[in-house]
Amino acid sequence: MSTATESKIKGKLNVAAGKVKQAVGEVTHNNKVANEGAAQQLKGHAEQAWGSVKEAANTTAANASVRTGETRSRRGNENEHKAHDIRQSITSTAQNVKNHIQDSVANYRAEHQK
């Protein structure tokens, strides 16, 4: 199994475990456990993103090694741009997930500290 696939699987497991942990924390009114669950979900999303980056880099490298001459250079640049765009999308998504989690935690705290 490739390291990209391993990262994606490990990430999915962390997201699932984090959701369970967060739910248990919220049901038991244990903010520490709920926050740990949210953090574990963020870690899982980051691991999945990292797996996608590795996969894109491996694909780009494999494609680039097959091409020769001008075509190789042109397609290599296209793939590099695609890989860059994928990385940007992944990191942006991870940032959005983190912000959403932080907002949710802040809202939860605000609602339950009244």
Distance CA 72, CA 46 (A): 32
Instruction: Determine the pLDDT at residue 98.
Output: 80
Domain boundaries, the chain: 3-112
pLDDT by residue, tens only, the chain of 114 residues: 778 889 889 989 998 999 999 899 999 999 899 889 988 988 998 898 888 888 888 887 777 666 655 565 666 677 788 888 888 888 888 888 888 887 887 787 788 776
- The reported pLDDT for the residue numbered 73 is 60
Please tell me the distance from the alpha carbon of residue 49 to that of residue 56, in angstroms, as a whole number: 11
For residues 92 and 69, what is the distance between their CA atoms, to the nearest angstrom?
34
Do residues 13 and 48 touch, judged by C-beta distance below 8 A?
no
φ/ψ of residue 66, rounded to 5: -80, -30
Given this model, what pLDDT does residue 27 score?
A: 94
The conformational region for residue 30 under phi > 0 = left, psi -120 to 50 = alpha, else beta, is beta
Question: What residue type is assigned to position 40 of the chain?
Answer: Q
The Cα 1–Cα 108 span in angstroms is 40
pTM above 0.75, yes or no: no
